[in-house]
Homo-oligomer: A and B are copies of this chain.
Amino acid sequence: MTGLTDRQRDIIQVAIRIISRKGIQELTIRNLARDLGITEPAIYRHFQSKSDILAAMLEYLHRDTIAIFDQVQDGESALDRLRDYFSRLFERLRENPATAAVVFSDEAFMNDDRLAATVRALVELTIDNTTNLLTLARENGEIRADVDEYDLATMLAGGVRLLVRRWHMSGNGWDLAAQGRSVIETFVKLVEVPR
């Protein structure tokens, strides 16, 4: 399905963990090999280059984020689907906090055009998903029509991003989902059209 072997998946998981715990500067082939319990050249059996590992890692996160969006139920109101979407994002982060770090390591990918494009797409994905749901909400008359949707998406996605960033920097020391829900509900309160 994903075109990845078991070993490749191992490598990606360990890479994500290293980035999460020590930062992307510590993601070296040496450290990767050590944590995997194999030698450095062995890694090159599974990926042609370090850049390929990072690309596969980003692609994996991309797919995962798409999958989360796809899981969001159809039947609900657009605002409920928005709530559902972010709940699932928070859920994934709680289960696998390491993924958060990768998204904030984007600067590290600047040198490699392919990686830069991929991580950019990853960031845009959440914004696009958010924008689409907001557009739907407006069409449904669930939210006020006198404000720019794109600005709303920027604030919501940006706010959540900032929240996750601080949660990560705090060492995941508090309940992201609770804080996240609070932000989402505040947002809804601001934009919702009273029925």
A152 to B, closest residue via Cβ: B186
Q: In the complex, are the beta carbons of B107 and A23 less than 8 A apart?
A: yes
A168 to B, closest residue via Cβ: B107
Q: In the complex, are the beta carbons of B151 and A157 less than 8 A apart?
A: no
**Chain B CB within 10 Å — which of A108, A154, A160, A187 has the most?**
A154
How many Å from the CB of A151 to the closest CB on chain B? 4
Q: In the complex, are the beta carbons of B108 and A23 less than 8 A apart?
A: yes
- The count of identical subunits is 4
Q: In the complex, are the beta carbons of B155 and A159 less than 8 A apart?
A: yes
Number of interface residues of A (CB under 8 A): 42
Q: In the complex, are the beta carbons of B151 and A162 less than 8 A apart?
A: no
Pull 24 A–B residue pairs with CB atoms less than 8 Å apart, ordered by A: A22-B111, A23-B107, A23-B108, A23-B110, A24-B107, A25-B107, A25-B111, A101-B107, A104-B106, A104-B107, A106-B169, A107-B107, A108-B108, A116-B169, A123-B165, A123-B169, A151-B186, A154-B159, A154-B163, A155-B155, A155-B158, A155-B186, A162-B162, A190-B191
15 extra A-B contacts, CB within 8 A, seeds A23-B111, A155-B186, A158-B158: A23-B107, A23-B110, A25-B110, A101-B107, A104-B107, A107-B107, A127-B162, A147-B186, A151-B182, A151-B187, A154-B162, A155-B156, A156-B159, A161-B161, A190-B191
